[in-house]
């Protein structure tokens, strides 16, 4: 299930959208869950969260500075997606109770929420990224095991496939699946991003990619990728995809 949330600054003044807002927007989404026990279990889980959000879309950019972009009247929107309908309905209930959303220091009015109709999924789809993809690997460096962000390569794409199948198995509480998927790219459009996540005073720089991809396999698995995102850190705003309408 996928919804689009429209926001406007509470006082209709321009707002500064910081470049590295992922953690702030993730926290804002969590703040709307009305089932506190569900929120606590989800937030504290070390496993996949099974929700995903897009970048912030700014209707009119007035200006920019070293910290971020200036949104005219604070008008922005984003997309929230999950294969778990309870996550979406929980968020919606919180928005009905209090139609405001705090992202960092900015307070926004929730002016509109639209449900996005699911696309018809085929066994092969061309997709665009609505937020950058990250996938990582562990490797030994100077005798220590370290995590390294991968650049697009055969290893990068195989990691995306394995990660998607692992998420599907865990979400459906099954031991294994025969569903298959192949993810690739002709690399016609690749844009590297470096996003800072600052959480509890700890800074992590994430090398990630906006790009066009091809995904081929079982339609059920492709639909799951559409709902939950591909790659890692989906609940921190990475890996949201859109099915290309004109192929």
- Whether residue 189 is predicted with pLDDT greater than 70 in this model: the reply is yes
Q: What is the pLDDT of residues 81-102, one digit of tens each?
A: 999 999 999 999 999 999 999 9
Q: What is the mean pLDDT of residues 172-178?
A: 95
What pLDDT, on the 0 to 100 scale, is given for residue 237? 96
37: left (phi over 0), alpha (psi -120 to 50) or beta: alpha
What pLDDT, on the 0 to 100 scale, is given for residue 142? 79
Largest CA distance in the chain: 55
**Whose structure tokens read 């005073």?**
201
Look up residue 177 and give its two tokens. 């699946």
Q: What is the mean pLDDT of residues 31-52?
A: 89
Read off the pLDDT band of 61 (50, 70, 90).
confident
| Residues 181 and 215: beta-carbon distance below 8 Å | yes
**Whose structure tokens read 């999924």?**
121
> Which DSSP symbol is given to 224?
H
Rounded percentage of the chain residues whose pLDDT exceeds 90 = 76
Determine which one of 19, 30, 189, 202 is catalytic.
30
CA 210 to chain CA centroid, Å, is 12
Determine which one of 19, 43, 86, 168 is catalytic.
43
What pLDDT, on the 0 to 100 scale, is given for residue 40? 85
What pLDDT, on the 0 to 100 scale, is given for residue 176? 95
Rounded to 10°, the helix 36-44/22-30 angle is: 150
Which residues have a Cβ under 8 Å from the Cβ of 216 and sit 6 or more positions away?
123, 124, 125, 181, 182, 184
What pLDDT, on the 0 to 100 scale, is given for residue 246? 63
pTM comes to 0.93
Assess whether 30 carries a catalytic annotation. yes
- Whether residue 64 is predicted with pLDDT greater than 80 in this model: the reply is no
Assess whether 43 carries a catalytic annotation. yes
Q: What is the mean pLDDT of residues 104-117?
A: 95
- Whether residue 247 is predicted with pLDDT greater than 60 in this model: the reply is no
- Whether residue 190 is predicted with pLDDT greater than 90 in this model: the reply is yes
- Whether residue 112 is predicted with pLDDT greater than 60 in this model: the reply is yes
Q: What is the pLDDT of residues 115-156, one digit of tens each?
A: 999 999 999 999 999 999 999 998 877 788 888 999 999 999
Residue-wise over 68-93: b if at least 16 C-beta within 10 A, else e? bbbbbebbbbbbbbbbbeebbebbbe
Q: What is the mean pLDDT of residues 226-247?
A: 92
């Amino acid at each position: 299930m996928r919804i689009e949330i429209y926001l406007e600054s509470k006082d209709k003044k321009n707002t500064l959208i910081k470049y590295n807002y992922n953690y702030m927007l993730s926290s804002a989404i969590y703040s709307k869950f009305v089932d506190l026990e569900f929120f606590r279990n989800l937030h504290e889980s070390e496993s996949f969260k099974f929700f995903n959000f897009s970048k912030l879309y700014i209707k009119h950019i007035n200006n920019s500075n070293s910290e971020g972009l200036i949104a005219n009247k604070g008008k922005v929107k984003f997309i929230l997606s999950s294969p778990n309908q309870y996550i979406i309905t929980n968020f919606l209930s919180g928005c009905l109770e209090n139609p405001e959303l705090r992202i960092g220091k900015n307070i926004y009015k929730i002016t509109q929420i639209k449900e996005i109709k699911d696309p018809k999924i085929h066994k092969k789809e061309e997709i665009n990224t609505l937020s950058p993809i990250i996938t990582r690997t562990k490797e030994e460096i100077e005798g220590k095991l370290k995590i390294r962000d991968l650049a697009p390569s055969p290893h990068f794409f195989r990691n995306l496939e394995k990660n998607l199948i692992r998420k599907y198995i865990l979400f459906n509480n099954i031991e294994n699946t025969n569903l298959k998927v192949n993810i690739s790219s002709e690399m016609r459009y690749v844009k590297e991003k470096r996003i800072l996540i600052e959480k509890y005073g700890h800074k992590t720089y994430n090398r990630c990619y906006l790009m066009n991809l091809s995904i081929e396999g079982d339609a059920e698995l492709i639909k799951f990728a559409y709902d939950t995102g591909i790659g890692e850190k989906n609940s921190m705003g990475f890996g949201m995809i859109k099915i290309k309408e004109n192929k």
